[in-house]
Structure 1
Amino acid sequence: MRSRTPLATVLAANAISISGNSLTLIGVPWFALETTGSPGKAGFVAFCAAVPVVISALAGGPVIDRIGRRRVSVASDLVCGLALTAIPLLNQAGLLRFWMLCALMAVTGLFHAPGETARHVLVPDLARRADTPLTRAASLYDAVSRGARMTGAALAGLLVALVGADTVLYLDAATFAVSALLVLAGLRGIPSAEPQRDAPPLSLAGYRADLREGYAFLLRTRLLLGVNLMVMTTNGLAQSWSSVLLPVHARENLGGPSSLGLLVAVFGGCALAGALLYGAFGHRFPRRPVFAVGFLLTGTPSYVVAAFTDTTPPLLVVIALGGLGAGVLNPILTTVFYEIVPEELRSRVGSASTAGVLLTTPLGGLAAGFLVERAGLTTALLTCAGAYFLATLAPLIFPAWRGLDAPAGPGTGTRTESAKAGAGSGMGAGAEAEAEGAAVSSSGPSTPGPAPATGGTSPRR
């Protein structure tokens, strides 16, 4: 029976959740800079938030389906909301210590990745229920996230300037609560959101087998592995940008948090436009060149311009172009991921892929804070710019990336069906897909971009 309500519920919950992310993205680094005065300590806070994200993503995939995607999403939001609420409460009581701030951000990181994965892997089933094409649903999912990020960032910059970072963290905690309530009520009775009915008890041997199956799928497909390695690199650099480099640049050269909020909002707005344009016209163009150009616009130019200017307008222009480029990335990766990974493996493969693309995020903020204190902001920006540029050449150099242009649909030899057959055989779905030249992608939550955008910074929901 056709119903658009569950898909609308996930989109709405994601919009509220991402709005809160934008508050955290600006509020927590600014809070750390205000309370410690040290870019290095701000980077260490980002490190503490990112390490648990990787740990939970590495090990959480098999648990999500057995507990139930709806339950995991709700529990994730509630725990993260409570942890964020504790930060300003302790600070106002005069009890907050730096180690407590690090520990509370670590709690949000630990519970973030399973909830993100649980919501993301529901989209194909909910799109079928809504009779919505998968490409359109994936673009809507990303566009809603971009729009929410734009609105939340603009609001966060103003709120930090007007009422302080403490209040911003309270508002962020409230967004977690609202997102949890929406998922709790709106996905009730959806089979794909509930625990697996006939699954065997989760023994240690069964858990290891499930975990191994997800990683085997990822590692046996060269394109999927290549995507993960590339986005792993750029996500680490994105963490350095969003948690240290851009906040420090805004504080020292651009006039404070209002400029920071404006830059993040412009990036989000242009990324929203890019995602909507790709949803409307993207099927007319080959994926690989669009993806490559989008990534080249998204990364290096922002670092270079920030290194050589101390005014906002030039950076606004290049960030706007970068936003347009970033808008096409996740719809491409998400669509291809949905096309090739069978439904019964999506939680496990999604967690494995999320863990892969987040492996470097703990080091991004930590390394950036150290580099700024030792070599200065300009050197840090140019170093990251060079590394980002080298990483984004991968789609243009390595032959495995040609699989990104493999057409979807019946003309591919029914890729999803072959993947299902491989999953049930000794060969494995990843090997089957690779043998046919099928395209796969990293998980949707990844956030390839230097400005605060997906899946993959401190912590993304």
Structure 2
Amino acid sequence: MTLPAASTSATPSPNLWRNRAFNLLWTSQCLSDLGSAMANLALPLLVLQLTGSPTKAGLVGTTGLVAGMVCRLPAGVLADRYDRRRLMVICDVLRLAAYAALGAAVLADVADLAMVLVLVVLGAAANAVFSTAEHAAVRNLVRPGQLSDAVARNEARSYGTQLAGPPLGGLLFGLGRALPFLGNAVSYLLSLVALLAIREPMQEPRKKDADSAGDGPADGLSGFRFVLANPFLRALLLIAAPLNLAFTGMLFAIIVALQRSGTSSYLVGLASTIFAVGGLLGAFAAPALQRRLRLPTLILVLSWATAALMAASALWSTSILAAVPLAAAVFLGPTANAALFGYQAAITPDHLQGRVFSVIILAATSAAALAPALAGLLLDHFSGTTAMLAFALVVTIAAVTATFSTGIRSMTTEP
């Protein structure tokens, strides 16, 4: 319940395929996202080999998530105040340099935990700025009638790369530890070339007096004020935060538990792919499910179903089968995303859309930044089954909160 999903058509219109600027951006980011998915799978495996500590592997993951979280609101301001193409080009150059350096260090056998932490922070910060600028730029690259199809294609891109990236990253890591990181660097080079080939403007002309009126892109507090003043959104964030923490922690715990039990790196990556299959199928089912379930009902169903399915997943903590119940749990995620962000867009004034979106993303995902470190700590002291059951308990608490929340019940009509 953190990212906007496609809420209309799952099949892009033919006209969008003839949009040169959008297709350059979309194709390059397919490759970039694929490289990121490979590297994200390989990073904890590398740290485990370097240190032998699940806690330190979790620390690296949490460090990256925290860096991205800290940069989320500033990224929104930057994307609204400065040239978005230039921002994305700078981010690609930084990410290219960071992962090329990490790949070279692994090849030379000089990589250590400190180097990994520095490069992860740099990469996470660049990712936050790039993704925010890209999200803001899409509207300027497509015609109004193409926007819903563009969102649908970006949603498919996200799930598709999550399907292919982790097993490919695991396979490459098994062939050579540096390969996933060098591959990620190549993906950023291709993204950079595509960005430089796009000539269309990526933002509308700025209003010079916007900030002085207290309502410009620098006024980030207005987004917080709007969200906190709405009982439903306020209550929803209290539920979304533990759900995201649990999903992130469970997936990390499965990866580490499988690696620790001697599972091949390719099968470890396949576990992440199984998880992504649930989201991909859920994205296709989202329009039909959204017509049948109101958002408050959807939240309750998602919360209780996730608690039960995570508990079931814990029974297979040393088997790739642990990913199957987790994939079933994430099936409702795209529908919840579409309903939530559709409701948010309908009730939010246009001049607050970007800031309110950033606040919701930040609040909903902030707790998830702690998940890898928490999972690693649990796995250092308890069995994989116990660690996973802890995350199921977190979701159960969120489900109870949703059941008795007056804020959730306060949304009496759909937008």
Give the shorter-chain TM-score range: 0.7 to 0.9
TM-score with structure 1 setting the length: 0.76
| Partner Cα separation in structure 2 for residue 365 and residue 380 of structure 1 | 12
Is residue 168–residue 266 contact of structure 2 (8 Å, CA) maintained in 1? no
Range that drifts further, 104-113 or 215-224: 215-224
| Partner Cα separation in structure 1 for residue 193 and residue 270 of structure 2 | 30
Out of 384, 401, 411, the residue aligned to residue 391 of structure 2 is 384
Structure-1 residue corresponding to 2:163: 150
SS of the residue 1:328 aligns to: helix
Is residue 19–residue 151 contact of structure 1 (8 Å, CA) maintained in 2? yes
Check 1:219–1:209 CA distance in 2 against 1; reply closer, same or farther (3 A cut): farther
| Partner Cα separation in structure 1 for residue 295 and residue 23 of structure 2 | 27
| Partner Cα separation in structure 1 for residue 284 and residue 366 of structure 2 | 29
Range that drifts further, 212-221 or 26-35: 212-221
Match status 1:99 vs 2:106: no
1:184 to partner: Cα distance: 4.4
Structure-2 residue corresponding to 1:438: none
Structure-2 residue corresponding to 1:24: 39
1:32 to partner: Cα distance: 0.9
Is residue 49–residue 106 contact of structure 1 (8 Å, CA) maintained in 2? yes
RMSD between superposed Cα atoms in Å: 3.1
Out of 151, 171, 178, the residue aligned to residue 166 of structure 1 is 178
Is residue 141–residue 200 contact of structure 2 (8 Å, CA) maintained in 1? no
1:7 to partner: Cα distance: 4.8
1:370 to partner: Cα distance: 1.8
Structure-1 residue corresponding to 2:234: 225
Letter in 1 for 2:231: R
Is residue 75–residue 132 contact of structure 2 (8 Å, CA) maintained in 1? no
| Partner Cα separation in structure 2 for residue 208 and residue 142 of structure 1 | 26
Match status 1:176 vs 2:188: yes
Letter in 2 for 1:266: I
Alignment of 1:233-272 (within 5 A): 233-243=242-252, 245-253=253-261, 255-272=263-280
Check 1:94–1:80 CA distance in 2 against 1; reply closer, same or farther (3 A cut): same
1:306 to partner: Cα distance: 3.0
Structure-1 residue corresponding to 2:356: 349
Out of 314, 325, 332, the residue aligned to residue 318 of structure 1 is 325
TM-score with structure 2 setting the length: 0.83
Structure-2 residue corresponding to 1:452: none
For structure 2, list consecutive stretches of 5 or more residues without a partner in the other structure: 1-13
Structure-2 residue corresponding to 1:277: 285
Structure-2 residue corresponding to 1:48: 63
| Partner Cα separation in structure 2 for residue 297 and residue 232 of structure 1 | 17
| Partner Cα separation in structure 1 for residue 267 and residue 320 of structure 2 | 7
> What do the CA deviations read for 1:52-97 (whole angstroms, capped 9, x no partner)?
2122113332222111333333333332232222212123234323
Is residue 310–residue 389 contact of structure 2 (8 Å, CA) maintained in 1? no
Out of 135, 138, 144, the residue aligned to residue 120 of structure 1 is 135
Range that drifts further, 4-13 or 216-225: 4-13
For structure 1, list consecutive stretches of 5 or more residues without a partner in the other structure: 409-461
Match status 1:63 vs 2:86: no
| Partner Cα separation in structure 1 for residue 91 and residue 346 of structure 2 | 27
Is residue 254–residue 312 contact of structure 1 (8 Å, CA) maintained in 2? no
Is residue 157–residue 261 contact of structure 1 (8 Å, CA) maintained in 2? yes
Letter in 1 for 2:187: T
Q: Sequence identity, in percent?
A: 23
